[in-house]
């Protein structure tokens, strides 16, 4: 038997359809863009299939044909021309690679373009049409995605990050590749069962009840006919028909078992609604508690101004509150402001200048801050890490504003790791208060240095209440828009 021909592709972003931002090709190039064969050795969140497949290709007898891999930081709706260009580029690379036995796709699953509410469904369907019914198609998704019928129908295997924070993105790619190789060899016949939980909720796995739920899912995998179990959390900032949580169970040709398990787990998840979010404080409450803490650093997450959810990340609301209280020995990462960064770079390290920054993209982010700032550190093309992944921040600066160190950046990114501070010349362990823009991805790294972690919610930047978001494309009954969507 000859070597198998395996094509890889990755086009990924998360589209917040409520965001004042728009996404085009430049955003993909700014965040991550690897032409065929040029994917780095390190994985990105959605392209971990590349390094994992490379590592296992010889053992599996695979010849890899790598297509383009690209990722844009979550933002607004994708420009239609950009989506068509990225889609057709990948499909062209696939056609040129024919014949192929296997296609592996690293997708996010919440991309929306101007004319398409299900970009990934459209892509997987087109891939299936090109490779035919006999090739095996395997896909990884982020759980903050929308699971459409089109995706389930055209893919053979789907694995989804189980953890939020997504600390298991490499593991998810490994699981997919193991299952795909077994399916291709005819050792398993994967059948996908899904269950629509009919709910929109935030489901962090760093706390109960989700922690135990996910641990149980992992224990079920590999028992009997159960090959894989995943939870799609859904992405509440995407106004699409398939919005909401779903459970995916993949069995070895055991439809009845899979359907029953998906329903049982899905209803269990539904029963957790309203109990999965951390306690959210107001910024004032969070700062009061941080100031009263005996030991530092207290980490405060600005949960809704999280660029990882597609908002601009230039809100000044918590910073203004800190300045009003004359808080000292504190640091904040990050405020997205390319114009202010440019000005600080022109001024140079050590310069003291009048600077207006933040609060530019919408009224929801508060007013810009006008302050006398000291440019403490200039870091061209700065980065932070997320597991083994390297995340760009673009040209960045650390400025001192009264007693607060503020990082301004040019490539939008949520905070993943404490090195976001260290790379800009701040020792986070020595601060009393650290403010990070992130909903939960910061949690793993910061829990190692934090005396306490607080979640501060500022209404406005992010459509965080599904009941009042005003979805126009949602037609299913779904909680919390409906109290009893399953009609029980
Ligand atoms: Zn996610």
Q: Are residues 372 and 402 in the same domain?
A: yes
What's the 295 CA to ligand 1 centre distance in angstroms? 31
* Mean pLDDT, residues 255-262 taken together: 98
How much distance in Å is there from the Cα of 383 to the middle of ligand 1?
20
CA 426 to ligand 1 centroid distance, Å? 27
309 CA to centre of ligand 1 in angstroms: 8
Has residue 116 been placed in a domain?
Answer: yes
**CA of residue 269 to ligand 1 center, whole Å:** 18
**What is the Å distance from ligand 1's center to 234 Cα?**
9
Ligand 1: centre distance to CA 244 (Å) = 13
**What HEC string does 287-316 produce?**
HHHHHHCCCCCEEEEECCCCHHHCCCCCCC
- At 136 the pLDDT is 98
Tokens at 173, concatenated:
């790619």
**Spacing, Cα 142 to ligand 1 middle (Å):** 5
Ligand 1: distance of its center to the CA of 288 in Å?
A: 30
Per the CB < 8 A criterion, the answer to whether 124 and 140 are in contact is no
Pair (41, 175) in one structural domain: yes
* Bridge partners for 332 per DSSP: 406, 435
Separation of alpha carbons 26 and 430, rounded Å? 37
The fraction of the chain above a pLDDT of 90, given in percent, is 97
Place of tokens 């780095």: 40
The tokens for 80 are 């239609």
251 CA distance to ligand 1 middle (Å): 25
How many structural domains is the chain composed of? 2
Spell out the residues 6+ positions from residue 292 whose beta carbon is closer than 8 angstroms to its own: none
- Taking only the tens place, the pLDDT of each residue in 378-429 is 999 999 999 888 999 999 999 999 999 999 999 999 999 999 999 999 999 9
Q: Tell me: pLDDT of 2 over 90.
A: no
Dist. CA 263 → ligand 1 center (Å): 23
d(CA 429, ligand 1 centre) in Å: 27
Identify whether 475 is part of a domain. no
Question: Shortest CA distance to 12 belongs to which of 141, 124, 121, 138?
Answer: 141
Are 253 and 306 members of one domain?
Answer: no
Spell out the residues 6+ positions from residue 104 whose beta carbon is closer than 8 angstroms to its own: 6, 7, 8, 9, 49, 53, 138, 139, 176, 177, 180
DSSP letter for 116, please.
B
On whether both 189 and 337 belong to a single domain, the answer is no
**What confidence tens digit (pLDDT) does each residue in 18-74 have?**
999 999 999 999 999 999 999 999 999 999 999 999 999 999 999 999 999 999 999
What are the Cα distances from residue 422, in Å, to 163, 333, 382, 430, 431? 26, 11, 11, 11, 12
How far, CA to CA in Å, does 454 sit from each of 19, 296, 302, 439? 25, 12, 9, 11
Give the distance (Å) from ligand 1 centre to CA of residue 306.
Answer: 12
Cα 451 to ligand 1 centroid, rounded to whole Å:
26
Angle at CA of residue 472, ends 470 and 474, nearest 5°: 100
Element (H, E) at 412: none
Ligand 1 center–CA 164 separation, angstroms: 7
The answer on 299 and 255 residing in a single domain is no
Q: Read off the pTM.
A: 0.94
Measure 165 CA to ligand 1 centroid, in angstroms. 8
> What confidence tens digit (pLDDT) does each residue in 433-443 have?
999 999 999 99
Report residue 310 as tokens: 């597609």
The whole-number pLDDT of residue 90 equals 98
Yes or no: say if 455 and 303 are a contact pair by the CB < 8 Å rule. Answer: yes
Cα 293 to middle of ligand 1, angstroms: 31
Residues with Cβ within 8 Å of 288's Cβ and at least 6 positions away in sequence, in order, are none
**Ligand 1 geometric centre to CA of 166 (Å):** 7
- Residue carrying structure tokens 């607060």: 404
Quote the ligand 1 centre to 321 CA distance (angstroms): 29
Residues 309 and 173 in one domain: no
CATH value at residue 79: 3.40.50.2300
DSSP string, 197-245: --B-----SSSTTHHHHHHHHHHHTTSTTEEEEEEE---TT---TT-S-
Distance 144 CA to ligand 1 centre (A): 4
C-alpha to C-alpha distance for 123 and 230, rounded to whole angstroms: 21
Q: State whether 355 and 217 are in the same domain.
A: no
pLDDT at 461: 83
Give the pLDDT score at 1. Answer: 62
Of 238, 271, 304, the residue at which a domain comes to its end is 271
| 211 and 240 share one domain | yes
Instruction: Name the residue with tokens 């969070």.
Output: 286
Q: Quick check: is 331 in a domain?
A: yes
277 part of a folded domain: no
In whole angstroms, give the CA distance from residue 394 to residue 405. Answer: 18
The pLDDT tens digits for 360-377 are 999 999 999 999 999 999
> How many CB atoms neighbour CB 264 within 10 A?
13
- How far is the centre of ligand 1, averaged over its atoms, from the C-alpha of 55 (Å)? 25
| Domain co-membership, 115 together with 138 | yes
381 Cα: distance to centroid of ligand 1 (angstroms) = 24
Q: How far is the CA of 280 from the centre of ligand 1 (A)?
A: 19
CA–centroid distance, 358 to ligand 1, in Å, is: 25
The whole-angstrom separation of Cα 217 and Cα 162 is: 9
Distance between CA atoms of 30 and 253, rounded to whole angstroms? Answer: 43
Q: Measure the CA–CA gap between 267 and 201, rounded to whole angstroms.
A: 14
Domain that holds residue 357: 283-456
How high is the mean pLDDT of the chain?
97
Whether 110 and 229 map to the same domain: the answer is yes
Interval between CA 488 and ligand 1 midpoint (Å): 30
Q: What is the pLDDT of residues 264-313, one digit of tens each?
A: 999 999 999 999 998 899 999 999 999 999 898 999 999 999 999 999 99
d(CA 194, CA 221): 15
**Counting beta carbons within 10 angstroms of the beta carbon of residue 84, is it exposed (0 to 12), middle (13 to 18) or buried (19 or more)?**
middle
Residues 86 and 107 in one domain: yes
Do 264 and 294 share a domain, yes or no? no
């Amino acid at each position: 038997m000859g070597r198998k021909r395996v094509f890889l592709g990755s086009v990924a972003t998360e589209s917040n359809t409520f965001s004042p931002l728009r996404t085009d090709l430049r955003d993909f190039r700014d965040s991550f863009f690897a032409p065929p064969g040029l994917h780095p050795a390190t994985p990105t969140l959605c392209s971990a299939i590349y390094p994992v497949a490379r590592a296992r290709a010889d053992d599996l007898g695979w010849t890899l044909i790598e297509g383009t891999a690209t990722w844009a930081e979550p933002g607004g709706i994708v420009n239609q021309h950009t989506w068509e260009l990225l889609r057709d580029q990948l499909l062209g690379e696939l056609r040129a690679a024919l014949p192929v036995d296997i296609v592996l796709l690293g997708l996010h699953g919440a991309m929306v373009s101007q004319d398409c509410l299900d970009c990934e469904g459209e892509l997987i369907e087109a891939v299936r049409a090109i490779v035919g019914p006999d090739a095996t198609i395997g896909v990884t998704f982020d759980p903050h995605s929308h699971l459409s019928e089109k995706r389930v129908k055209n893919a053979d295997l789907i694995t989804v990050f189980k953890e939020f924070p997504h600390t298991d993105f490499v593991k998810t790619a490994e699981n997919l590749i193991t299952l795909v190789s077994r399916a291709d060899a005819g050792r398993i016949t994967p059948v996908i069962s899904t269950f629509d939980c009919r709910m929109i909720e935030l489901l962090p796995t760093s706390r109960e009840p989700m922690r135990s739920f996910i641990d149980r899912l992992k224990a079920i995998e590999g028992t009997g006919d159960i090959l894989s179990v995943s939870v799609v959390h859904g992405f509440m900032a995407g106004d699409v028909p398939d919005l909401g949580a779903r459970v995916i169970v993949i069995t070895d040709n055991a439809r009845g078992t899979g359907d029953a398990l998906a329903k049982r787990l899905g209803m269990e998840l539904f029963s957790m609604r309203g109990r999965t979010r951390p306690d959210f404080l107001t910024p004032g409450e969070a700062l009061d508690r941080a100031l009263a803490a005996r030991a530092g650093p207290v980490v405060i997450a600005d949960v809704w101004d999280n660029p990882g959810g597609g908002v601009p990340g230039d809100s000044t609301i918590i910073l203004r509150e800190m300045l009003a209280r004359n808080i000292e020995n504190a640091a904040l990462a990050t405020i997205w402001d390319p114009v202010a960064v440019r000005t600080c770079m022109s001024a140079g390290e050590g310069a003291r200048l009048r600077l207006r920054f933040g609060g530019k993209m919408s009224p929801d982010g508060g007013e810009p801050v006008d302050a006398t700032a000291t440019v403490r550190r200039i870091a061209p093309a700065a980065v932070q890490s997320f597991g083994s992944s390297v995340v760009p921040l673009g040209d960045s600066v650390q400025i001192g504003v009264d007693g607060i160190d503020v990082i301004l950046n040019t490539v939008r990114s949520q905070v993943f790791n404490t090195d976001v501070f260290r790379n800009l010349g701040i020792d986070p362990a020595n601060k009393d208060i650290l403010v990070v823009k992130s909903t939960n991805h910061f949690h793993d790294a910061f829990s190692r240095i934090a005396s306490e972690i607080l979640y501060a919610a500022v209404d406005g930047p992010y459509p965080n209440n599904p009941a009042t978001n005003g979805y126009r494309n949602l037609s299913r009954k779904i909680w919390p828009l409906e109290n009893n969507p399953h009609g029980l």
